Amino acid sequence: MIELYGRANSVNVWKPLWVLEELGQPYERLDAGMEHGVVDTPEYRALNPNGRIPSLRHSGVELWESNSICRYLCMMVGGDARGLYPEEAGARASVDRWLDWQLSTLSPAERDLFWNLVRTPAAKRDMKAVKTAVTNSAACWAILEARLGDGRPFIEGAGFTLADIVLGCFARRWFGPEVRVPGMPDFPRLAAWYGRLGERPGFQKWVAPPLF
């Protein structure tokens, strides 16, 4: 049985949970992180020395880093993982590039927006940092808006892939009702793509619920 550690309201935990739903794999989610603790215990640190979530245990494999866990789950089922992770090298690398971009570029850009508005009490919010994060993350989302400009329904084209899952989890924080501030531009193609993601049971089960 696949064991996945991480609280259900973490963007990085949503990713593998959604992948598992898409793949139809049985799994057990174990609460860890923030109010659940666990991440500072010696047992957990042996599994993940960063003390972060998610972490995975399965058939002797122990892993951390959410995007690596998602890739593992796809490779574990094999083939193109129901279309999530194409086998052809160029197509696979194209998906991978968005996962790397999320880590290197999108996350640092949007972090202050989410943390201030969702995880910080109103009196302590740094609204200057929020404004900067709106500008920086809008610049990232504009790249995806352009990507969808040729009428493609999903980031890599006709098929729904791991890129849609990973970026869709972050889109939840941009489009969700919890993060609304002046200056957030409209992205009509991105909004339509986000609507398509909302039709998927894995999104509905793990990503859609309130962030608080």
By CB under 6 A, name the binding residues for ligand GSH: 7, 10-12, 33-34, 39, 52-54, 65-67, 103
Nearer to ligand GSH, 50 or 143 (CB): 50
- Contacts within 8 Å (CB) and 24+ apart, 47-50: 47/5, 48/5
Nearer to ligand GSH, 39 or 134 (CB): 39
We find the least distance from the C-beta atom of residue 199 to ligand GSH, in angstroms, to be 25
**For the chain, the helix, strand and coil percentages under 3-state DSSP, each to the nearest 5:** 60, 10, 35
Nearer to ligand GSH, 173 or 187 (CB): 173
We find the least distance from the C-beta atom of residue 118 to ligand GSH, in angstroms, to be 12
Closest residue to ligand GSH in the complex (CB): 33
148 secondary structure, DSSP code: G
We find the least distance from the C-beta atom of residue 66 to ligand GSH, in angstroms, to be 4
144 secondary structure, DSSP code: H
Nearer to ligand GSH, 19 or 145 (CB): 19
Q: Return the structure tokens found at 182.
A: 């002046």
We find the least distance from the C-beta atom of residue 150 to ligand GSH, in angstroms, to be 29
Nearer to ligand GSH, 70 or 187 (CB): 70
CA 98 to chain centre: 11
We find the least distance from the C-beta atom of residue 27 to ligand GSH, in angstroms, to be 17
User: Distance between CA 63 and CA 70 in Å, rounded?
Assistant: 10
If we measure between CA atoms, which residue out of 21, 53, 81, 66 comes closest to residue 204?
21
